[in-house]
Amino acid sequence: MAVAIGFVAEHVAVVQRGELIAIDSRFAVRGREPPPRGIVIVGIDAPTFGDLRLRYPFPRSVHAGVIDRLTRDGARQIVYDISFQNPTTPREDAALLAAIRRARSIVLAVTQSTGFRRPVILGGARRIEGWGARLGVAQAAAPERGAYVRRMFY
């Protein structure tokens, strides 16, 4: 009976709406917080395409250059939110893998897995992690009411 009640409560819109209101209220009480100091977000936007005169997806050597530049400029942590799961050309892939290996501390996005703890990433997860890189899930649930992402996949 408890399992049935829990299942129904999880899937009834009224309960879900109430939970979303509660989550939003807790964040509203906390108020806006400024981002931590020392964080820089390097984004890809319309001016980026114009400046580089490239179409997406960018060659892997471009990403390698960004990683090397951030490493050279002293980034303590690089978090790359682009998934590199499929090979491109040997030269481009080698450039990216070499930059990942040179990075002091990098987290790479993973969007696919072939099973529990077997993420799909160029070069192989064990090899990449052996270099000190970490892998992170890059898929968020679809935005909910108010265009907020309130939950992440486990």
> Residue 108: CB partners within 8 Å, gap ≥ 6?
80, 84, 100, 121, 128, 133, 134, 135, 136
Calculate mean pLDDT across residues 131-152: 75
pLDDT at 61 over 90: yes
63, amino acid identity? H
pLDDT for the residue 102:
95
pTM, full prediction: 0.71
Q: Which residue has the higher pLDDT, 133 or 8?
A: 133
For 68, left (φ over 0), alpha (ψ -120 to 50), or beta? Answer: alpha
Q: pLDDT value at position 153?
A: 62
The rounded mean pLDDT for the chain is 83
Q: How would you classify the pairing of strands 106-110 and 78-83?
A: parallel
